[in-house]
Each structure stands twice: as C-alpha cells, then as structure tokens.
C-alpha cells in the first residue's frame, strides 16, 4: 500500500520540545552518547521543507476539513530536529493539539524516547509522553519515567523516574525519584525524594539532590575521600563546593580522623581580568595524637596581578602553627617533604630599557635548622643600554638589600651592590660567541649584636668571560632511520679576581647544583655574597641526533675544567673554590617509548664522584609509564644522598590499571616510601584502592636522630566516583604518585 504524505504548516511544532538540550556537555569517550541524527533523518532525506512545516506520513488518513486529521498505520511525524513515530495519531486543527498512541518513539539530537502515548499542545508549546524509556543524546544518561514532559519554559520534567549513565539492562548504579527536573540553561538537574542504588540495592535516601548534565559549576557535595592509616586512623573527607559567581568559588572540606580529630579545610579562588588569588585556610581544634601542640592551623595566600602591561605584583605567604603540619596533613600547595616556606611579596616594573623590582622575602626553615636571614626589603634596578648596538650591550645591575636574623651574631646586614657589565654576543646557526667583562662593587654594613658593633666591608673585583662554540651538522643513519647529527665543541675562559671575602656571610646565597651545564657558569653560588675566584678554562663538547621532525633521539656531553692557578683562597670557604672537575651527561631515545638519561660530576682533586643521577624511563601515555632512578651526592646540607627508586603505572585494559612506587635509601638501608594502587573504571563509575608506606620524620623535634628506630605511616585509601554526577572518569592512577615523598618527574627535553 503506498504511503500518504501530508505537509502541515504552522508556527512551530512543539518548538520547546528538545531543542533546549542541544548544547549540553559531551559525555566521556568510554560512555559516548549515541548518535541519533542519522536515525532521525533517514525517512526524510528526499523531502524539501521549510522550518515552519511539519511532514506527516502514514498508510491511511481520514480528513475532516477544518476540524481534525486522523492518521493510521506507521505514522511518522517530522519537523526540524525531531521525529515522532506511532501506530496512530490525531491532529486537532482547532486546538492545535497533536496526540498519538501505540509504539510511540520520539527521536531528536538530544534524546530518544519510547512510550505508550504522546500529547503535544502547540498553543502552549507543551509535550508529554506516558510510560517512557529514554536515552539522552548529549550524554550517557538514560532511564524510565511514568511521565516525560517538556514545558514552554524549556524545562524537562520526569515523574516516577529513574536515572543512570551505565549502559546495559542491569546498571551498576541508578537513582529513582518521584520527580526529576532538568534545566539545560543552568546545566543541572534536580531530583526530589531520591533513592540511590548500587547493584539494585538501596544505599541512601535524599529528599532533594542536584546533579550536572554539563560542565557548568554548581554548589553541592563533591565526592568524598575515605581511608585508614596508622597516622590518621579511619578518616573521611567530604568536600562541599560553593559556586559563588563566575569568577570566584569556595570549597569547604571537613575531614574527620579517628586518631587526630576534625580538620576543617577551606579554599577560596578568585579570578579577575588582571589578577588571580588563592586562599587556603585549615584548622584543627585539638590533635588527639599530640595534645600539647594545642590548636593547629595552616594559612596560605597566593596572588598575582598585572597592571597597565608594565606592572606585575606577586605574593605568596604561608603560616603554620608548627613545622610538622605539612608533613602530617599534606597540602595542595606544599609537598610533604618540603624543607622551607618561601614567603615573599614582589612588585616589578618592566620599562623599555630599565626594569625595577621591590622584593620582601622570608625563607622559613622547617625543622631543627638555623633560620635563614629575612629580607625585609630588596630593591633591584637593571638598566640595559641598547643604543650601543645589537651585539654590543652595556648593562648595569644595582641592588640594595636589608637582611635580618635575630638568632645569629651578625643580626642585621645592609648590602649595596653595583655591577656595570659590557657584553658582546654573536649567534649564528654555526657559531656562538659571548664575551663579557664586568666590575662588581659591593658594600656591606654588618651589625653584631654580641659585640654590639658595626663592621663595614667593601669588596671590589673584576670578572672576564669568553665563551665560544661551533655547531657542525651532518646527515647520517641511526638504527636504520635517516637522522641529523650535530657536534658542538665549546670552550670558555673565566677569570674572577681573587679578593678577600672571609668576613662576608652567606645571606641569600646557596651553592648551585653542579653538572655538565654548571661547568660553563661564571659562579658556583646563587646571589652575590660568594663570588668564587677563578682562573680557568672549560672545554666541552656535545653531540645530538635528531630525526626528520626534529625530535632529539640521542645526546652526549663531556666537559672538563682546567685550573690555571691553584692559589685562590679569597672565597668564604676554600672547599667550594672552583675545582678541576669532569662532567658527563647523556640521553638516549632507545625506542619510541624507552629513554635513558643521566649525568655525573667527577672531582679530579678528591678523585671521587660528587654528584650523579641516572633515569630509565618508559613512557607510552600518562597512565602507562615506568621509571627507574638513582641519585647520588656526597654532600647536600651535610648529608650524603644515595637513593634508588622506581615508579610504574600501567593501564592493563580499558577498565583496569595498576600503579606502584618504591624508594630505598642505600646508605642507611631504609625504605623511604612505598605505594601500590589499583583502579577499576567502567564508563559509569570508578573505584581506586591504594596502600602506602612512608617514613615519618617529626620536624617538631629539637633533634632529629638518624640512629633511632624508623617510624612508618601505613595507610589504605579509597576513592569512588560516578559518571554523570560530577565525577571525572579519566584514568587517575598516575596521580597516586603525588602522594609519594618523591613525586614522579618525567625527564625534561627541549624538543618535547
């Protein structure tokens, strides 16, 4: 029997029905929403129609002119972005109402709904289906509803409904509610008298709950964190999120620990057109494990702003009730193995030829260490006279600093520094030349509180440096692939005048890391308190191999310092004078995923390796990596470092992943840190279980004795997330490494 086709023209057929859902958030790839477009359009590809027209096809039709039209047999109604199929349908022209019964199926870009009957009121732009099953097209949400309706206010209402994002007929979780209302403009749904079920078992009843249908932020409960450890006992943390405005929000997290008490954590974030602020506040009224400490707290503020393109303000401030707070409770903004807090405020002006900065800094040492000097004020002016030429530059650095430390004999120091420098620099693809000469003049006024006297010291010295390098290239093969190889010899002569600096302390200067690149520096220290005397030549060469997309596959560097004069004794400590040293560094891309890198510094005078590291990495993706590492140093703050460790995380298949880490101190034969975790994730929920063991160091002790028995914190953590209710189901197994004392670091490559 041939099918009949009717074209009905009027304002908009149920215009409110599903168009309001079309811009909702995308679902997770593993639970991708079904594509309904081709299913909706397939019957009408050959029709040309206008937006205000409705096309109806059926096997037969009865028409009563001016009153109604009755369609029978395989009725299909199509208009713009939706299609309705039914066994029978009636269109009432007087009331502009449409009703259909029998095997109802509604398909749009936003949803597919099947039901027993459908009613459409064109005048009021309402749509209602009874006895429905629905599947959203904008995410993996689906369920059943006694009544499925859309009102003229563009809100979707479900009565006697269920909701889940799990596929299949037996969902892992769902919630049933008397009423569910979804508002796409707000990006959230609301449910009343809700029962949440896992594996069809009722878990919790909630009178009212909201849930997201997009990535828009909304106030509410975030997913809790559960666990047990020897340090905390059984604990649960429940974040409560407050979306105060588009540019600022607040999160309050009560964390109950059976062995410690109730810890309140709050986080406030504010973002404007030219500034960003983070404020973290934490408070524990009484620590059951150490009542003598009394109230414990953390306060953290981070600020950065830019004004009129030339002014920049940066601020970071942390206040702790006791040194051990971060080690005990961890922090989102400090690592538990941190040894100091860097509190500072800095104002910088960037001019055309001059930069000016004002800095106030407090470097607070954690644990039983001698406090560092405070820096109440430091003003730095850098002037660059570009008028001399593109290659020849005249630079002037000047700085005033005030240092204070009430615990040291020399408790207040004023330092005035002035350093003009003339630099010539030439760089071409094949040649590098840097020549500089400078004169450093520094004045110190040092007050000694014990002797109640002031000491004035002037230090003046000259510095000269010449660095030259060549770059050779050739095309060759590397493991049967065409590559480009470079050879870069480099030579540097450095002269720093030997003057008496024995009366100058180290106020803001620290010994820098020594490796291949450090051989070509002009000072072993940061800051200007210790300027190491030198009369030496450094010779080095490096070679690299690059593939046809300029990715570095191999690198090897070798450098050596030759001292021309061994009689330099004017530095603060002759043990850190420039020394005859050999440095090596290497990197090899063994395959597309395996790489090896490392380096050592060998002191020819003491005939020992002073520092070294090696790292073997396998990297396939964020959640598929492996690393073996070893680090060695003869002296780091008076301690010998000799440690080895491994990281491994691997996503076995789309649902299972595992992660593990282990670090051993080879000097004391002590396990420093160990962790193993498992993760299961489906398209609608995930669970993560981890066990960890970490060495405990009490920074509140006046003395830290390495010979006492080692104390460990052993714990188990549990994390459960649900898709469709605000949970991010991307794999987070590698994030467990952030809980390790030694956080995972992927080797840095310039070509990455």
Strand ranges (E), 666-734 = 670-681, 685-696, 711-722
Confidence at residue 726, expressed as pLDDT on a 0 to 100 scale: 53
Average pLDDT over residues 240-264: 93
Burial class (CB in 10 A: 0-12, 13-18, 19+), 306: middle
Q: How many Å apart are CA 483 and CA 636, to the nearest integer?
A: 40
Average pLDDT over residues 735-746: 62
Confidence at residue 488, expressed as pLDDT on a 0 to 100 scale: 94
DSSP annotation of 44 reads G
Average pLDDT over residues 136-145: 79
| More confident position, 588 or 739 | 588
| More confident position, 218 or 352 | 352
Structure-token pair, residue 590: 């063994």
Q: b/e for 645-654, b at 16 or more Cβ within 10 A?
A: bebbbbbeee
Q: How many Å apart are CA 112 and CA 40, to the nearest integer?
A: 9
Confidence at residue 672, expressed as pLDDT on a 0 to 100 scale: 85
Is-contact 141 162, C-beta < 8 A?
Answer: no
The torsion angles phi and psi of 733, rounded to 5 degrees, stand at -65, -35
Task: Tell me which residue has tokens 């941190």.
Answer: 338
Is-contact 572 524, C-beta < 8 A?
Answer: no
Structure-token pair, residue 395: 């630079």
Q: How many Å apart are CA 426 and CA 432, to the nearest integer?
A: 6
Would you say residue 518 has pLDDT above 50?
yes
Distance of CA 371 to the CA centre of its chain: 31
Report the chain's mean pLDDT, rounded to a whole number.
82
Q: How confident is the model at residue 17 (pLDDT cuts 50, 70, 90)?
A: very low
Average pLDDT over residues 138-142: 73
Structure-token pair, residue 629: 């590492």
Would you say residue 159 has pLDDT above 80?
yes
Confidence at residue 276, expressed as pLDDT on a 0 to 100 scale: 95
Average pLDDT over residues 639-663: 87
Task: Determine what percent of the chain falls in helix, strand and coil, rounding each to the nearest 5.
Answer: 5, 60, 35
Nearest to 740 by CA among 230, 228, 330, 365: 330
User: In the chain, count of helices (H) and strands (E)?
Assistant: 2, 42
Q: How confident is the model at residue 387 (pLDDT cuts 50, 70, 90)?
A: low
Confidence at residue 196, expressed as pLDDT on a 0 to 100 scale: 85
Confidence at residue 575, expressed as pLDDT on a 0 to 100 scale: 38
Structure-token pair, residue 656: 């299972």
H or E element that contains 37: helix 37-41
Nearest to 147 by CA among 125, 134, 129, 121: 129
Would you say residue 22 has pLDDT above 50?
no
The torsion angles phi and psi of 465, rounded to 5 degrees, stand at -150, 135
Q: How many Å apart are CA 595 and CA 604, to the nearest integer?
A: 29
Nearest to 8 by CA among 74, 75, 73: 75
Q: How many Å apart are CA 289 and CA 142, to the nearest integer?
A: 48
Q: How many Å apart are CA 617 and CA 405, to the nearest integer?
A: 44
This prediction's pTM: 0.74
**pLDDT tens for each residue of 397-427:** 999 999 999 988 999 999 999 999 999 999 8
Would you say residue 60 has pLDDT above 90?
no
Q: b/e for 663-694, b at 16 or more Cβ within 10 A?
A: bbbeeeeeebbbbbbbbebbbbbbebebbbbb
Would you say residue 18 has pLDDT above 90?
no
| More confident position, 324 or 706 | 324
Q: How many Å apart are CA 523 and CA 511, to the nearest integer?
A: 9
CB 566: neighbour CB atoms within 10 A?
Answer: 12
CA angle, corner 415, sides to 410 and 420, nearest 5? 150
Q: How many CA atoms lie within 13 A of 581 on its CB side?
A: 21
Confidence at residue 279, expressed as pLDDT on a 0 to 100 scale: 97
3-class secondary-structure state, position 292: helix
Lowest-pLDDT range, 61-70, 75-84, 471-480, 742-751?
742-751
H or E element that contains 326: helix 325-329
Is-contact 193 161, C-beta < 8 A?
Answer: no
Structure-token pair, residue 379: 């003003």
Would you say residue 389 has pLDDT above 70?
no
Confidence at residue 48, expressed as pLDDT on a 0 to 100 scale: 55
Q: How many Å apart are CA 487 and CA 178, to the nearest integer?
A: 74
Share of the chain above pLDDT 70, in %: 82
**pLDDT tens for each residue of 534-565:** 899 999 999 999 988 888 889 999 999 888 87
Would you say residue 238 has pLDDT above 70?
yes
Spatial CB neighbours of 613, under 8 Å, sequence gap ≥ 6: 598, 599, 600, 629, 630, 631, 632
Spatial CB neighbours of 240, under 8 Å, sequence gap ≥ 6: 220, 221, 222, 251, 252, 253, 254
Q: How confident is the model at residue 594 (pLDDT cuts 50, 70, 90)?
A: confident
Confidence at residue 19, expressed as pLDDT on a 0 to 100 scale: 29
Structure-token pair, residue 222: 């975030």
Confidence at residue 326, expressed as pLDDT on a 0 to 100 scale: 86
Is-contact 349 357, C-beta < 8 A?
Answer: yes
| More confident position, 469 or 333 | 469
Nearest to 213 by CA among 130, 283, 111: 111
Q: How confident is the model at residue 567 (pLDDT cuts 50, 70, 90)?
A: low
**pLDDT tens for each residue of 103-121:** 899 887 777 899 999 887 7
Is-contact 88 76, C-beta < 8 A?
Answer: no
Q: How many Å apart are CA 68 and CA 86, to the nearest integer?
A: 17
Q: Return contacts of 328-333, CB within 8 angstroms, 24+ apart.
A: 328/231, 329/263, 329/282, 329/284, 329/298, 330/739, 331/280, 331/298, 331/300, 332/267, 332/280, 333/278, 333/280, 333/300, 333/302
Q: How confident is the model at residue 746 (pLDDT cuts 50, 70, 90)?
A: low
Q: How many Å apart are CA 671 and CA 677, to the nearest integer?
A: 18
Nearest to 657 by CA among 688, 630, 613: 688
Is-contact 241 220, C-beta < 8 A?
Answer: yes
Is-contact 216 186, C-beta < 8 A?
Answer: yes
Would you say residue 21 has pLDDT above 60?
no
Strand ranges (E), 337-430 = 340-350, 354-365, 374-385, 392-404, 410-427
Q: Which of 79-88, 420-429, 502-511 is predicted most confidently?
A: 420-429
3-class secondary-structure state, position 455: strand
CA angle, corner 73, sides to 72 and 75, nearest 5? 85
Confidence at residue 405, expressed as pLDDT on a 0 to 100 scale: 92
Average pLDDT over residues 443-454: 92
Q: How confident is the model at residue 135 (pLDDT cuts 50, 70, 90)?
A: confident
Is-contact 241 251, C-beta < 8 A?
Answer: yes
Nearest to 16 by CA among 70, 79, 67: 79
Lowest-pLDDT range, 97-101, 133-137, 212-216?
212-216
Average pLDDT over residues 356-365: 92
Is-contact 366 339, C-beta < 8 A?
Answer: yes
Is-contact 695 684, C-beta < 8 A?
Answer: no
Spatial CB neighbours of 735, under 8 Å, sequence gap ≥ 6: none
Cα 629 to Cα 312, 399, 560, 644, distances in angstroms: 39, 41, 25, 6
Confidence at residue 287, expressed as pLDDT on a 0 to 100 scale: 92
């Amino acid at each position: 029997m041939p099918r009949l086709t009717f074209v009905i023209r009027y304002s908009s057929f149920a215009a409110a029905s599903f168009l309001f859902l079309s811009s909702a958030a995308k679902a997770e790839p593993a639970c991708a929403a079904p594509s309904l477009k081709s299913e909706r359009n397939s019957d009408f590809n050959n029709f040309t129609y206008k937006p205000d027209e409705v096309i109806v096809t059926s096997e037969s039709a009865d028409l009563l002119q001016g009153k109604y039209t009755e369609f029978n047999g395989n009725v299909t109604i199509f208009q713009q972005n939706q299609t309705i199929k039914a066994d029978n349908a009636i269109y009432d022209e007087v009331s502009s109402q449409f009703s259909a019964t029998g095997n109802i199926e509604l398909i749009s870009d936003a949803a597919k709904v099947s039901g027993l009957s459908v009613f459409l009121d064109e005048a009021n732009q309402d749509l209602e289906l009874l006895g429905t099953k629905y599947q959203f097209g904008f995410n993996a949400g689906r369920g059943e509803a006694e009544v499925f309706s859309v009102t003229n206010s563009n809100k979707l209402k479900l009565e006697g409904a269920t909701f889940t994002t799990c596929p299949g007929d037996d969902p892992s979780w769902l919630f049933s509610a008397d009423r569910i209302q979804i508002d796409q403009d707000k990006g959230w749904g609301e449910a009343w008298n809700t029962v949440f079920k896992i594996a069809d078992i009722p878990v919790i009843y909630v009178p009212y709950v909201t849930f997201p249908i997009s990535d828009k932020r909304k106030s509410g409960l975030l997913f809790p964190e559960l666990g047990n450890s020897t340090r905390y006992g059984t604990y649960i943390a429940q974040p409560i999120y407050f979306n105060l405005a588009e540019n600022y929000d607040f999160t309050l997290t009560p964390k109950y620990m059976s062995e410690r008490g109730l810890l309140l954590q709050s986080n406030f974030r504010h973002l404007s057109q030219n500034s960003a602020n983070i404020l973290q506040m934490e408070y524990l009224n009484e620590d059951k494990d150490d009542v003598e400490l009394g109230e414990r707290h953390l306060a953290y503020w981070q600020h950065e702003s830019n004004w009129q393109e030339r002014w920049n303000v940066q601020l970071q401030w942390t206040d702790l009730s006791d040194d051990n707070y971060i080690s005990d409770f961890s922090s989102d903004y400090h690592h538990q193995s941190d040894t100091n807090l860097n509190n500072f405020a800095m104002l910088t002006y960037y001019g055309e030829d001059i930069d000016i900065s004002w800095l106030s800094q407090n470097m607070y040492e954690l644990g039983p260490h001698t406090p560092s000097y405070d820096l109440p004020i430091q003003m730095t002016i850098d002037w660059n006279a570009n008028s001399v030429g593109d290659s020849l530059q005249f630079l002037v650095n000047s700085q005033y600093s005030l240092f204070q430390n009430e615990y040291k004999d020399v408790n207040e120091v004023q330092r005035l520094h002035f350093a003009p420098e003339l630099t010539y620099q030439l760089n071409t693809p094949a040649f590098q030349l840097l020549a500089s000469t400078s004169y450093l003049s520094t004045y110190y006024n040092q007050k000694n509180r014990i002797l109640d006297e002031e000491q004035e010291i002037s230090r003046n010295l000259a510095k000269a440096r010449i660095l030259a390098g060549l770059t050779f290239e050739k095309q060759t093969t590397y493991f049967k692939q065409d590559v480009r190889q470079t050879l870069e010899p480099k030579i540097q002569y450095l002269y720093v005048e030997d003057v008496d600096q024995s009366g100058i302390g180290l106020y803001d200067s620290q010994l820098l890391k020594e490796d291949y690149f450090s051989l070509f520096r002009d000072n072993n220290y940061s800051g200007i308190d210790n300027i190491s005397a030198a009369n030496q030549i450094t010779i080095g060469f490096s070679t690299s191999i690059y593939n046809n997309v300029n990715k570095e596959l191999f690198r090897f560097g070798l450098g050596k310092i030759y001292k021309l004069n061994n009689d330099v004794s004017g530095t603060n400590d002759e043990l850190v004078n420039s020394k005859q040293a050999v440095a090596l560094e290497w990197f090899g891309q063994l395959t597309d995923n395996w790489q090896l890198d490392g380096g050592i510094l060998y002191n020819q005078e003491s005939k020992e390796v002073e520092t070294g590291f090696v790292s073997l990495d396998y990297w396939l993706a964020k959640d598929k990596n492996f690393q073996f590492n070893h680090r060695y140093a003869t002296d780091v703050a008076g301690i010998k470092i000799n440690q080895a460790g491994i990281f491994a995380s691997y996503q076995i298949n789309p649902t299972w992943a595992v992660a593990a880490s282990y670090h051993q101190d080879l000097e004391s034969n002590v396990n420093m840190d160990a962790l193993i975790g498992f993760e299961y994730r489906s398209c609608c929920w995930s669970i993560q279980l981890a066990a960890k063991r970490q060495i405990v160091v009490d920074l509140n002790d006046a003395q830290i004795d390495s010979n006492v028995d080692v104390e460990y914190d052993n714990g188990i953590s549990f994390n459960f997330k649900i898709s469709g209710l605000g949970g991010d189901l991307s794999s987070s197994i590698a994030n467990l490494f952030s809980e390790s004392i030694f956080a995972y670091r992927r080797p840095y490559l310039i070509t990455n």
